[in-house]
Amino acid sequence: MNLIGAEFKKIVSKKYVWILALLLALFYAYLILNLADNFSVVYSKRALQPVFQEIMDAAYDPQVQEYVIKNEFNVTFDELQPLISPRIAQTIEQYQGKIYKGYDVEKQLKDEAALRIESLVERNVTLNKMIQELKNEPDTPLNRYLLQQYTNMPKMEPNLTRWDDWIDINNSMLPLLIAFVVILGVAGVYTGEYTSKMHGILLTTKNGRSELFWSKLLASCLFAAIVVIIFQALAALLYMHVYGLPFKNTPINSLTSFYKMPNTMWALQFYLCQLAGSLLGAIVLTAVTLCISSLCRSNLVSFFISGIYFAIGALYSLNVEGQYISSMRTILADVSTFSLMSLTDVLGNAKVFIIGNSAIPTIGLTLITQAVIFAVAILLTYVFYNRKEIIA
C-alpha cells in the first residue's frame, strides 16, 4: 500500500497536469454555460414539461392521429387545439405578450407543442410501418434482430425530458478531455524512471521490479478513475445548471438522436452505462499508455504516441456515426477505446455485427476487444519493464 501511495503521489504531484486539466475544465464550462440563455434551453422544452402527459395523450388519441396523418404530418397548434386538452393552451397562454431575444414566446411554444405531437404521431406510424415491412422481408439475421427490437420497444414519449442533452455529454468532447488528462498524467510513469536511471537500480533488487510494476499500474488506474469522476461530476453540475435534471425517465427511442434506431433501453439506464464505459475506457487507455511509456525514453514521445492511439479511434468512430450495423469497414472504430468511453454510437444505436446466421451486439465485441487490449498492454508492460536495460 505504501508503494501504491508513493507512485500515486508521483503522478498527482505533476503541477502541469492539474494546470492543463483546470484550463480544459474552464474551457468546457465556458462552452456549456454559453448555451444557458438560448431560447430552446430557457423555454422550448422547460415550459411544456408541466403538460408532458397531455401532449403524450394527444399524440396517442385516435382522432388526433387521424387528423395529423390526413394532413401529412404538417399541422399547426390552432388546428390541433379543438382536439387536445385545454390545459396545453392554458399553460402556453401564460407567456402571452412575452418576447425573449426577439422570439414571441407564446408563438414559439405553440409551434413546439404542435411539433411534439405531430412528431410523436409520425414516429409511431413509421415504427409500425417498419415492423410490417420487416414481417414481409426475407428471414435474415439482421431482419430478425430489427423485428425483435422494434416489436419490443417501450411506448414512445414526447421528447421533452432533457435526456437528449444529458446523453450528449459523453458523445465526443468529454471523452476527449478525459483521455487527454489521463494520457498527460500517465505518459511519464516509466519514462521518468528511465530518464533518472532509477530503472537500472531497480533491476538489481529482488522484489522491487514486480512490486513496483503492480504499484504503478494500480496508482495509474486510480488516477484515471479520479479524472473520470472529476470531469463527469463537473459535466453533471454544468448540465444541471443549464438544462436542469430530467424530470422523468424516458425510452431511448423517444429521443431525436436515436430516431429509428433499434434500441429498447431507457435513458437513465443508458446514461449509467455511459458512466461505466467512461471509467472502463479510461482504465484501458491507462494500460495502453503505460505500455507505450515502458518502451519510450521521452515523456513527450510517450504522450504523442498514446494520443495518436486514442485519436485514431476517435476520428474513425465519429465519422461512422448514425448506423445500426457494424461492417468490416466500421468494426475497428466500433471496438475502439473511444467508442467504449462514449457508447453513443455503439450502444445508443444498438449496433450489431452480422456473423453467419447471427446478429452479434457490437457492444459485446467492444468490451471483449478492450479487455484483450487491456490484458495485452499489461503483459507487454510487465515484460518491457522487467527486461529493459538502460545503458548509461
pLDDT digits (tens, 9 = 90+) for 236-266: 999 999 999 999 999 999 998 898 899 999 9
Quick one: cell of 21? 486539466
Confidence (pTM): 0.91
Percent share of the chain, pLDDT over 90: 77
- Residue 92 in this model has a pLDDT that exceeds 80: yes
Q: What is the mean pLDDT of the chain?
A: 91
Helices within 152-266 (DSSP H only): 163-167, 173-186, 188-195, 198-202, 208-242
- Residue 235 in this model has a pLDDT that exceeds 50: yes
The pLDDT score that the predictor gives to residue 194 is 57
The pLDDT score that the predictor gives to residue 391 is 43
- Residue 89 in this model has a pLDDT that exceeds 50: yes
- Residue 316 in this model has a pLDDT that exceeds 60: yes
Q: What is the C-alpha to C-alpha distance for residues 269 and 107, in angstroms, rounded to an integer?
A: 35
Contacts of 180 (CB under 8 A, 6+ apart): 20, 24, 307
The pLDDT score that the predictor gives to residue 310 is 96
Q: What is the C-alpha to C-alpha distance for residues 77 and 122, in angstroms, rounded to an integer?
A: 16
DSSP 251: B
The pLDDT score that the predictor gives to residue 209 is 66
Q: What is the C-alpha to C-alpha distance for residues 365 and 128, in angstroms, rounded to an integer?
A: 30
- Residue 1 in this model has a pLDDT that exceeds 70: no
pLDDT digits (tens, 9 = 90+) for 45-72: 789 999 999 999 999 999 999 999 999 9
- Residue 390 in this model has a pLDDT that exceeds 60: no
Residue position matching grid coordinates 505518459 = 187
Q: Report the DSSP beta bridge partners of residue 99.
A: 104
**Cβ–Cβ < 8 Å for 372, 335:** no
Contacts of 381 (CB under 8 A, 6+ apart): 190, 213, 217, 287, 290, 291, 294
pLDDT digits (tens, 9 = 90+) for 332-345: 999 999 999 999 99
Residue 313 C-alpha from the chain's centroid? 15
The pLDDT score that the predictor gives to residue 28 is 96
Across the range 4-31, mean pLDDT stands at 93
The pLDDT score that the predictor gives to residue 195 is 53
pLDDT digits (tens, 9 = 90+) for 102-140: 899 999 999 999 999 999 999 999 999 999 999 999 999
Closest CA to 56 of 232, 208, 248: 248
Across the range 354-379, mean pLDDT stands at 95
